[in-house]
Amino acid sequence: MSAVIKMLFSHCRSNLYLIVGICMGLSLSLFFAPVEIDECHEGSDSLPYMVDTHNFNDEYEPKINIEGKPQHAQKTPKVFVRPRYYSTELGIRDKLFVGVITNREYLHSRGVALNKTIAHLVDKVRYFISIPEGTKPNVSLPGIVGFTDTRSILKPFHIMKYITDNYLEDYDYYYLIKDASYINARRLIELVNKISVSQDIHMGVPGDTETYCSLDAGILLSNSIIREMKTNLDWCVKNTYSDSDDINFGRCIVHSLPVLCTSTSQGQTFHSEKLDPTFHFETSLSKLIANSNIADSVSIYPIYDHTVVYKMSAYIATTELAKVQKKISELRKVILKTAHLGPKDKRNVSWPVGNQPGNKPPGRFDVLRWTYFNETHTFLENDMDILRELHGSTKMDVDQVTKTAVERIENKYDGELKFKKLVNGYRKLDASRGMDYILDISFTELSTGKESIKRVEVCKPLGKVEILPVPYVTENSRINMILMANPQKKTETLTFMKKYAENCMEKKDKTFLMVVLLYDPSALSRGKEDVFYDIKQLALILTEKYKKDQSKVSWLSIRLPTAFTAIELDPMLRIAIADLSVKKFTAESLILFTDPGIDLRSDYLNRVRMNTISQWQIFSPIPFTGYHPDIAYAEDIKHVEMDITRNHGRYDDTNFESISFYAKDYTTMRKTIEPLSIPLVRTDKDIPELLKLSSQTLIESLFDMFVSFSDLHCFRAVEPALKIRYKDVSCAGTRSDVAYKKCIRERSFRLGHRGQLAKLILEYQSSQ
């Protein structure tokens, strides 16, 4: 025990100062601690002292002011309206705006040449001209901006005013140049992609004076400089005294922001090549190439002959293509050298080297099929066709691939083999890779005369996906619907008109409906004995009911030479109806041919507005057609809504009855083909002349006519909002064997899918 006490005493003695410090700290903290006084015991004698809480004033005590509260906001905050595009809200801008300073008389030559060489590469291009009031440009070129002030000395400042008013928030860089120049758009885009817009950019090459950039070579300005110039345009106009646009415009830039013209910025150089006045493309190009690096120039000037612009563009494109091919060859060599470094169980090297290896199917249902073909036909291309003749683009593609393979083999064997024929061919489309071919080609050996068959594998890889620029369209266009009705479709037409009133007229949608009434030769067309009397009365009632909303229903009567049970079976009849009905509308009208069996929806109408572009594109959606109700809804009798499922219907890619276009585009196309093959129908009496061509099967639909005789884009895609209910089709009214076979095939496909039809056959056989 004594040993333990000694040990404790030794530990305490070593920590004596610590223990004493702790005790003194606790004593002092208790001594200086504040004493709380309870007001309810003010009279108690037990309190050592009293604190007057009423006179106690703490400067940190919070004070509450409730006079004149609550106060109302003097200005009501605005409701935030989200922009239409996310890029607007986030401030995302496109990269490059190109402004070409030109004249009215040069639009058809220099303007068109620049448009064809740069418009598909840059984000936006505008052509600025001075034009007297009341006159029009001499060419229909997109992006022309005319100024009525014809003073050429002020044109650059009019351009800046136009840019700041319309495109100040849309682009990072603005490139201004005169029309007597060639623009290397690819080099210009490469330049702006390598410099940062966070700095003030004023790039170009010096003109007559070393201080200011030359507009002939082009001036590249950043968005920040354009913003500063916006507030100084008045000063620039008042201080314009020189005859040189370079001096006036350069002084305006330097006054707005003290950034001098430079040809280098952020490690990038702005090259521009100035040609001699005696430059001739054929004789002087080789000398020019030897003395300068013309391919790295952003602009080449002056070029007064617009044909030289095309030639220069072809030379630059060829030079760039050679560079790309060389780079691809180098990359392929590197891939082959480093292939052994990859995982052993992976496909480290694809064919062609560096291209996408292709789709690897996750299961047996996703295996891509190979289609067999020869020089004239393709076999088993899909589940429905056994044999189909090669024609059109498919035939051209097969011929090109075969020709390329033959040339490769003949060059490899130094002309010892001579092409004889294509024995076998296989092709496969892989959406992730491209088109693959396997060809068995027969050659004749010139030395021995024997036949030699070589197998060649060819790949046509997909290129870079590009977004095609299209004209701007909105969803505010009025749709003029045309509905064709014969006596057999009277009930369906009445049902369609009632649904049209509910879905379009009641909702004040910008639409107009014209019902084309097709009378038989002996049918009455007046009074209550009129076969279409109910349709006409309903049209009058709907027009009167919704006339305040400027929505109406009208009709057009056409007397046919013979009776037709199915209008869609004769394409020539549909063309005749289109000729007679389209001329009732103005040239700017959007026309939509519709079917009485569809369910009108606003989504479908809006897509028609967006996908039909004047002088650019027509639209023919692929509808979802329903199967026979007794087959599609055999297991669900109460189900009446047609869903987009395999059991209810299919996307009918042979249906071209729904098509939309602008009246001007249709008129232009018809005038083109009228003297060639298909006469224009102006009255009902001209219809028999056109129907004589029905047996010749020149075209199969209005869509086919646009494809064959028009330069417009023909857009076709599946449309989930376009559903067509099942209808019985009689093939007795067809005028040719080809049309009859097509009708029988379409009627069979509309019954149901193969599983449903097979089930019906088995049930029938079991019941016998």
Query: Which residue stretches of the chain have pLDDT < 50?
Result: 4, 37-51
Which alpha helices (DSSP H) does 240-305 contain, by range?
Answer: 245-256, 281-291
Contacts of 399 (CB under 8 A, 6+ apart): none
Cα first-last separation, the chain: 114
Strand segments (E) across 37-101:
94-101
As a whole number of angstroms, the distance between CA 660 and CA 612 comes to 7
DSSP SS3 for 274: strand
**pLDDT given for residue 279 in this prediction:** 87
Which phi-psi region, left, alpha or beta, contains residue 310 (left: φ > 0; alpha: ψ -120 to 50)? alpha
Tokens of 622: 């692929």
**pLDDT given for residue 701 in this prediction:** 84
| 3-state secondary structure string across 385-424 | CCEEECCHHHHHHHHHHHHHHHHHHHHHCCCCEEEEEEEE
**pLDDT given for residue 735 in this prediction:** 63
Beta bridge partners of 659: 593
- DSSP-based helix, strand, coil % in the chain, nearest 5: 40, 20, 40
- Cβ atoms 667, 587 nearer than 8 A: yes
As a whole number of angstroms, the distance between CA 647 and CA 752 comes to 8
- Cβ atoms 133, 147 nearer than 8 A: no
As a whole number of angstroms, the distance between CA 322 and CA 289 comes to 15
Indicate if the alpha-carbon torsion angle 170, 176, 178, 179 is positive or negative: negative
Beta bridge partners of 300: 182, 273
- Cα 430 to chain centroid distance, Å, stands at 22
To 5 degrees, how large is the angle CA 122–CA 126–CA 131?
Answer: 165
**pLDDT given for residue 43 in this prediction:** 44
- Pairing mode, strands 590-594 and 649-651: unpaired
**Could you give the domains of the chain?**
93-311 (3.90.550.50), 367-461 (3.10.450), 479-728+736-754 (3.90.550.10)
Cα-Cα-Cα-Cα torsion 670, 675, 677, 679, nearest 10 degrees, comes to 60
DSSP code per residue over 621-652:
-EEEEE--HHHHTSS-TT--S--SSTTTEEE-
Cα separation values, 441 from 429, 450, 510, 540, Å:
21, 14, 60, 70
Which alpha helices (DSSP H) does 676-719 contain, by range?
Answer: 687-691, 702-709
To 5 degrees, how large is the angle CA 216–CA 217–CA 223?
Answer: 105
Residue whose C-alpha is closest to residue 298's, from 336, 327, 328, 265? 265
Cα separation values, 350 from 230, 326, 355, 359, Å:
55, 19, 6, 12
Q: b vs e for 107-125, b when ≥16 Cβ sit within 10 Å of the residue's Cβ? A: bebbbbbbbebbbeebbbb
As a whole number of angstroms, the distance between CA 221 and CA 204 comes to 9
Residue whose C-alpha is closest to residue 458's, from 493, 481, 433, 490? 433
Contacts of 339 (CB under 8 A, 6+ apart): 348, 349
| 3-state secondary structure string across 571-599 | HHHHHHHHHHHHCCCCCCCEEEEECCCEC
For residue 744, the 8-state DSSP code is: H
- Cβ atoms 219, 178 nearer than 8 A: no
